[in-house]
């Protein structure tokens, strides 16, 4: 049994924990990193990376069926589902060395492949090692939430942690949950030749702007995804495959994916021994990511806020400032974007239209611009979509986009909100022609158009100036 003293102990080697460990050790801190499962955490192994790789395989299959309007004869793709999963595994393997134990040990991090359990305010037991740290960062992430639906435990079911190991192509995939994970996997699988039914107890993509969600859901339905909303799963049984009994009838398929949300990974931590307050939603933190034990921080999914890889990375940067330099750094979520990678994509930053109307009332102005007015979207026949920007006193307070490359476009609005850039600044931007990026500039133009072109004062001034110009 080893007794280890360290400046900074990081529990969890997902995206947030790895970012903290890498930054801290390169700035001169003695860093110890604990990981009892896979380096890279959920994002690399079960989440962002494999899901986007599988979506890419689905996109390649769909492209073979979608070229008629451009003179390309559609053909039915021959899908090798197992080979598509080999592609997913190869993508993970390509990225894995960046998150590997060898790389971090090469940076100087002490890596211990054990789960951590608090034994006191500053002490953690990891296997046979007892670790005492000046500061501790909990970055244990989250896991799939498995709801207590009667009969679920008696049938084989998938979560995002097991889906990517599946080699047999589902004949009919049932998905419980119409959030981002459920809808992304629904589209990937219908494009790979599966029949897909999504069962959602409330509204599919219910956390997104409803106008934008409707556009994305219509596209998925057009591709053959059956989406049943307001259908609470009441019972599950192994009848002719797998049957999900709901408030709107029974649905039978060959495979079942459960995608109803996430739960924080806190069970093994023994948080009470360290005086760390927590709830079912996660570890309770203040605006500086400190727990009730001021020597311990929590970041990423386990902190109970926005559950995105880039949020964990953002938290990591704040922790470097706090734990290494003793400088206070407060979390600001106003500029944090997120995206759902269906086709068309949905992206959001800041306030939705409904949130902005509730907060600002009559002070709010909404600038809109449709994809079907964008020349690049017309050329590539990707005109389904729109951008909405919520503006107060000339400054954007939120942006909502549905359409091709929405996840790329939203970054401009995150930059604007983070740095207080006004709509005039976006309007002054020059985008290459023709690009999808022009949509952001045109949205800013849509904000100014009525002020310039429908304004009688402006017209009178222009006429007056024209009389005096030589």
Looking at the fold, whether 159 and 189 belong to one and the same domain comes out as yes
Q: What angle do CA 417, 420, 422 make, to 5 degrees?
A: 95
Looking at the fold, whether 16 and 135 belong to one and the same domain comes out as yes
3-state secondary structure 396-429: EEEEEEEECCHHHHHHHHHHHHHHCCCHHHHHHC
Looking at the fold, whether 160 and 174 belong to one and the same domain comes out as yes
**Closest to 225 measured CA to CA, from 258, 180, 162, 182:** 182
Q: What is the pLDDT along the chain (470 residues), one digit of tens a residue?
A: 689 999 999 999 999 999 999 999 999 999 999 999 999 999 999 999 999 999 999 999 999 999 999 999 999 999 999 999 999 999 999 999 999 999 999 999 999 999 999 999 999 999 999 999 999 999 999 999 999 999 999 999 999 999 999 999 999 999 999 999 999 999 999 999 999 999 999 999 999 999 999 999 999 999 999 999 999 999 999 978 999 999 999 999 999 999 999 999 999 999 999 999 999 999 999 999 999 999 999 999 999 988 899 999 999 999 999 888 888 889 999 999 999 999 999 999 999 999 999 999 999 999 999 999 999 999 999 999 999 999 999 999 999 999 999 999 999 999 999 999 999 999 999 999 999 999 999 999 999 877 655 666 766 766 777 777 77
Tell me the binding residues for NAD(+): 177-184, 200, 261
Looking at the fold, whether 112 and 223 belong to one and the same domain comes out as no
> Is 202 a domain residue?
yes
Looking at the fold, whether 386 and 449 belong to one and the same domain comes out as yes
**Closest to 179 measured CA to CA, from 341, 54, 311, 334:** 341
CATH number of 189's domain: 3.50.50.60
Cβ partners under 8 Å of residue 144, min gap 6: 159, 160, 161, 258, 259, 261, 262, 263
Cβ partners under 8 Å of residue 194, min gap 6: 169, 170, 171, 172, 173
Task: For residues 389 and 413, give the distance between their C-alpha atoms in angstroms, rounded to a whole number.
Answer: 9
Looking at the fold, whether 243 and 272 belong to one and the same domain comes out as no
Question: How many separate domains does the chain show?
Answer: 3
Tell me the binding residues: 52, 116, 140-142, 177-184, 200, 261, 301
Looking at the fold, whether 186 and 215 belong to one and the same domain comes out as yes
Q: What angle do CA 404, 312, 163 make, to 5 degrees?
A: 65
Helix, strand, coil percentages (3-state) for the chain, rounded to 5, are 40, 25, 35
**Closest to 159 measured CA to CA, from 29, 262, 25:** 262
Boundaries of domain holding 159: 152-260
Looking at the fold, whether 174 and 249 belong to one and the same domain comes out as yes
> Is 44 a domain residue?
no
Provide the pairing of β-strand 129-138 with 3-11.
Answer: parallel
Looking at the fold, whether 350 and 415 belong to one and the same domain comes out as yes
Looking at the fold, whether 251 and 271 belong to one and the same domain comes out as no
Looking at the fold, whether 229 and 281 belong to one and the same domain comes out as no
Looking at the fold, whether 396 and 375 belong to one and the same domain comes out as yes
Tell me the binding residues for FAD: 52, 116, 140-142, 301
Provide the pairing of β-strand 296-298 with 337-340.
Answer: unpaired
CATH number of 346's domain: 3.30.390.30
């Amino acid at each position: 049994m080893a007794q280890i003293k360290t400046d900074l102990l990081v529990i969890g080697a997902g995206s947030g924990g790895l970012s903290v460990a890498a930054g801290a050790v390169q700035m001169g801190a003695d860093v110890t990193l604990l990981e009892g499962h896979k380096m890279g955490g959920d994002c690399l192994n079960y989440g962002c990376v494999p899901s986007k790789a599988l979506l890419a395989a689905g996109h390649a299959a769909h492209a073979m069926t979608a070229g008629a309007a451009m003179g390309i004869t559609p053909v039915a793709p021959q899908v090798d589902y197992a080979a598509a999963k080999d592609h997913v595994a190869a993508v993970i393997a390509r990225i894995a060395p960046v998150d590997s134990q060898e790389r971090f040990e090469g940076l100087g991090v002490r890596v211990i492949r054990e789960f951590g359990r608090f034994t006191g305010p500053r002490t953690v037991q990891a296997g046979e090692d007892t670790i005492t740290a000046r500061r501790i960062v909990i970055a244990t992430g989250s896991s799939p939430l498995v709801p207590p639906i009667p009969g679920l435990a008696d049938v084989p079911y998938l979560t995002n942690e097991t889906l990517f190991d599946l080699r047999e192509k589902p004949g009919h995939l049932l998905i419980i949950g119409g959030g981002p994970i459920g809808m992304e996997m629904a589209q990937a699988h219908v494009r790979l030749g599966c029949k897909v039914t999504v069962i959602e107890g409330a509204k599919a993509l219910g956390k997104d702007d409803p106008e934008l969600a409707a556009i994305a859901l219509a596209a998925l339905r057009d591709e053959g995804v059956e989406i049943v909303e307001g259908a609470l799963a009441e019972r599950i049984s192994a009848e002719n495959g797998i049957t999900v009994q709901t408030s709107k009838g029974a649905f039978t398929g060959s495979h079942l994916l459960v995608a109803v949300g996430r739960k924080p990974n806190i069970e093994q931590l023994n948080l009470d021994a360290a005086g760390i307050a927590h709830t079912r939603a996660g570890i309770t933190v203040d605006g500086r990511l400190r727990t009730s034990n001021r020597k311990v921080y929590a970041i990423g999914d386990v902190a109970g806020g926005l559950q995105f890889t880039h949020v964990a990375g953002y938290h990591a940067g704040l922790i470097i400032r706090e734990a290494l330099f003793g400088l206070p750094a407060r979390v600001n979520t106003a500029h944090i974007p997120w995206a759902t990678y269906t086709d068309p994509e949905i992206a959001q930053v800041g306030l939705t239209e409904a949130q902005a109307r509730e907060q600002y009332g009559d002070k709010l102005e909404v600038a809109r611009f449709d994809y079907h007015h964008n020349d690049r979207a017309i050329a590539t026949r990707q005109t389904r979509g729109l951008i909405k920007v919520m503006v107060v006193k000339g400054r954007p307070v939120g942006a909502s986009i549905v359409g091709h490359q929405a996840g790329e476009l939203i970054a401009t609005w995150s930059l604007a909100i983070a740095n207080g850039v006004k709509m005039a600044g976006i309007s002054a931007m020059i985008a290459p022609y023709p690009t999808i990026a022009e949509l952001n500039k045109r949205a800013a133009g849509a904000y100014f158009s009525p002020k310039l072109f429908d304004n009688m004062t402006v017209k009178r001034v222009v006429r007056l100036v024209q009389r005096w110009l030589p």
